[in-house]
Structure 1
């Protein structure tokens, strides 16, 4: 190494220290993690959130917006030059164009920086004047967050849990048949391993399509550049009495451990460990529509997610976080516009019950948590109709499949969320006293006034919980 290289290294070090000091003392940075489970609308959420933070006419519950503390907001180049930029402009055009349509979902980590010029209140604000606050939005798949729980599990434990959940699922017949034909104690045969991994991937895809949430390992669904690699060529196996060296079991175990080491840990080291605030989007209505077993799976997934935010249990995670914790976590039930507003409180109560149960089971502490029902982009309007002498609170929108306008009554959620959770825990095949339905609506064609973002439900309230304290 030459003197020039040393000098360059020292210069970069000084620049890095200077940037860190600047962030801490002059331009604070809030890193907001956004993830979602089972098609919860993550891309739409981020797009609408950014649009409504840039044009804040529909954000009265964000105190910094309604009080005038936010003087301006603008997009800037993201600081992490190796991370793909969230394609905000393309996604917004999809939602607000002449022929609106839902944008393509992101399939890997993406990032966007939104900067605010804010005027702090009080005497300090009067003396200091306006300051800049940066919001770095980090978009990543929910399946990757669920992978953190794998770090605490051996291959044998993971296999047993995964196969136990698959036991009662009729769409797992192909997986069961493949496992019956495999001898885990026999010597590794690579074609057998590849077939088992493919069958297991098909099972995970079916589970997600059926509304189930816990679909780990997450990279089996979103493999990217890892597709076909040995690190994704494993599957759960029933443990045999003997596991000799070179056996199928041993090789699957080795690849599972490699997945944790080479895939899971780098994600949490490079991205998750730097997050300050987190929102987890949940398609609770989709799970309810899918039935009690899907709700029970969602309850399990929320418990696993919360384990990601209590690093004390995992020595490796505690080491990379160096005492940092996510300060606030919001679990948001999306697609609230599929329900009349009179039912929003019931949907929120179900989310709160799921969250409370998950917190108790995970022995979670250390961050503020909340649950609410939201719609990042409102695709429907409300109607009250009379049918066979009964008054029904409906929503009307454009059906995604046919393009026709239709009024829809999804059924009434119970006032007591325990009725939903009790049926889920008991393993019921279907709801005994209700029929919950869900429709797929297309985005409505919009005419936005100057200063207004897309219509939403409680997006401003969600923003206030997540970042409001950092903007005043």
Structure 2
């Protein structure tokens, strides 16, 4: 699909940008790593933990270069792209370490350069390599990802798909007001600014309702309707799908013609530059997803998450080039799909969470119809907010997780204050993976077959599988008062897959 997103002129610009970047990399090796994902999946936390553990020599036993002692040091340098905002690493770490608060979510594209000085494991490589790699980490909002598939769709396609999705059982009640308003509109009537505005506002309200925790839906384009930034109120955001459109050319001066023109302006001036200037320059990619939030909301949300990941992967440029083509075109040769917040489950359920994500990723890769890139999945927690323990209840010993739930989180009618640490039995994920995607079967949130236990239990007495969110941990200190690195689950495995081969 990615090849259909650009014109010949776009490809020429991409080739020139790539050639310039490759020429620079001959003297200063670099790797561009894209970090992306849907809203609140943990992109900011992942990048912060990635950098913090490398700079401070964190415990990373599965990251071979660190384990073998070949990394001399890692440090931040000035980023290469002056026009891109800097990822505010220091602010995010201060929130995590000093205030025990999660940092603010990604609201715009940002970049950070982390340079690693290392000794190659190969004597031959040490003769020809400087032992220095700059990792340019590019962070961009999950909402913007939702726009990329629009580059391959006409306005009629966009409208038809929007209405098809709006009548799905998990969305029908939320979209009812917008659909009723749209049904009363004549697309062939004269263009009217107030009509366009009412439609756009009603459509945006429906998308925002879909995003709330109760539904946790993922496929919600256009992304700037959820996060408009400096485009708020502009004509480029004052459009909406119209029902019953054909591919026939709209009458000049009609409402349909106005909507089509604004949709095309959105694609041309908002989406395409983002794709050309950032996505096509990536070498590696991690897609972080909050599968637990989707599991909370039920099979409809899981099926929607799978749809979103499929469309996201279809917009990347995966594959492996050769010595000649690499000078003119970048390809993403490794993609990691990571389910975050694994610390919200006991380790006994990590395999099931990873199996759910593997199923989601495998089907998405197959449907996106691309080959040539290595794709892996992992269940991780870039910052581990809980620890594990056991609680005895009668004759049964229950595995629990211990942490401080965020203020306002609820279990069995109890609302937490954000200060009290508690032990929680998180429940078990379903053994049958297909069930969590089956929108036609019984809702797996109801009586999912978990072990029964009293006390603080997620997913048993509650009417739904309910994974609460926790505050960041208080970091341990050594006897000398030195603060240790951020704890994690499988962050080292992610690092090994994403950059380990470049440090071999």
Give the alignment's TM-score, normalised by structure 1.
Answer: 0.89
1:408 matched to which residue of 2? Answer: 424
Aligned to 1:68: 69
Which residue of structure 1 aligns with residue 413 of structure 2?
none
Decide which of 241, 254, 261 is 1:236's aligned counterpart: 241
Of 366, 377, 380 in structure 2, the residue corresponding to residue 374 of structure 1 is 380
User: What is the match of residue 28 of structure 2?
Assistant: 27
Partner residue in 2 for 1:460? 492
**Secondary structure of 1:213's match?**
coil
1:19 Cα deviation after fit = 7.8
Which string of whole-angstrom CA distances, capped at 9 and with x for unpartnered residues, describes residues 23-71 of structure 1? 22x3210000001113101111111111011122311111111112211
| Structure 1 residue runs without a partner (length 5+) | 1-15, 313-318
Pairwise mapping of residues 227-306 of structure 1 onto structure 2 (< 5 A)?
227-240=232-245, 243-306=250-313
Q: CA shift at 1:203, angstroms?
A: 1.4
Name the structure 1 match of 2:38: 37
Q: Is the 8 A contact 1:381 1:397 kept in 2?
A: yes
1:5-36 CA deviation, whole Å, 9 max, x = no partner?
xxxxxxxxxxx999853522x32100000011
Contact kept? 1:119, 1:129, Cα under 8 Å = no
The Cα of 1:410 is off from its aligned counterpart by: 2.8
In structure 2, the partner of 1:442 is 471
Alpha-carbon spacing, 1:292–1:19, altered in 2? closer, same or farther (3 Å): closer
Residues 430 and 18 of structure 1, relative CA distance in 2, 3 Å threshold: closer
1:361 partnered with 2:377: no
Q: CA deviation at 1:387?
A: 4.0
SS of residue paired to 1:57 = coil
**Higher mean Cα deviation, 52-61 or 279-288?**
52-61
Q: 1:321/1:270 Cα in 2 relative to 1: closer, same or farther (>3 Å)?
A: farther
1:180 maps to which residue?
183
User: After superposition, what is the alpha-carbon deviation per residue over 1:410-450, rounded to whole angstroms, capped at 9, x for unaligned?
Assistant: 321123312223x23x3755545414111021112213445
Partner of residue 337, structure 1? 343
Which residue, out of 198, 206, 209, partners 2:209?
206
Residue matched to 2:81: 80
- Secondary structure in 1 aligned to 2:73? strand
Q: Which whole-Å CA distance do the structure 2 matches of 1:253 and 1:49 have between them?
A: 42
* Distance in 1 between residues matched to 2:119 and 2:483, nearest whole Å: 19
Q: Name the residue aligned to 2:48.
A: 47
SS at match of 2:62: coil
Partners of 2:371 and 2:139 in 1: how far apart? 24
The whole-number CA distance in structure 2 between the counterparts of 1:246 and 1:465 is: 54
CA offset at residue 249 of structure 1? Answer: 1.6
Work out the CA distance in 2 between the residues paired with 1:21 and 1:292: 48
What's the offset of the Cα at 1:183? 2.2
Q: 1:292 touches 1:428 (CA, 8 Å); kept in 2?
A: no
Deviation >6 Å, runs of 4+: 16-19
Q: Show the counterpart of 1:315.
A: none
Structure 2: gaps spanning 5 or more residues: 1-17, 320-324, 408-416, 449-463
Distance across 2 between alignment mates of 1:340 and 1:463: 23
Aligned to 2:337, the other structure's residue is in SS state strand
1:115–1:232 Cα change, 3 Å: same
TM-score by length of 2: 0.84
CA apart distance, 1:392: 2.9
In structure 2, distance between residues paired with 1:68 and 1:125: 17
Give the corresponding residue for 2:156: 156
Instruction: Check whether the contact 1:111–1:138 (CA below 8 A) recurs between aligned residues.
Output: yes
| Residue 122 (structure 2) pairs with residue 102 (structure 1) | no
Structure 1 residue 175, shift from structure 2 partner: 1.7
Q: How does 1:420-435 map to 2 (within 5 A)?
A: 420-421=436-437, 423-424=438-439, 426=440, 431-434=445-448, 435=464
Return the alpha-carbon distance in structure 1 between the equivalents of residues 243 and 211 of structure 2. Answer: 23
Cα distance, 1:471 vs structure 2:
1.4
- Label 1:321 to 1:118 Cα distance change in 2 as closer, same or farther (>3 A): closer
In 2, Cα distance between equivalents of 1:398 and 1:33: 31
Structure with the larger helix share = 1
Say which is worse superposed, 430-439 or 217-226, in terms of deviation: 430-439
Q: CA deviation at 1:207?
A: 1.2
Question: Once superposed, what is the RMSD of the aligned Cα atoms?
Answer: 2.4
How far apart, CA to CA, are the structure 2 residues paired with 1:185 and 1:89? 54
CA 1:179–1:322: 2 relative to 1, 3 Å: farther
Question: 2-side partners of 1:244 and 1:129: how far apart?
Answer: 62
Residue 397 (1) aligns with residue 403 (2): yes
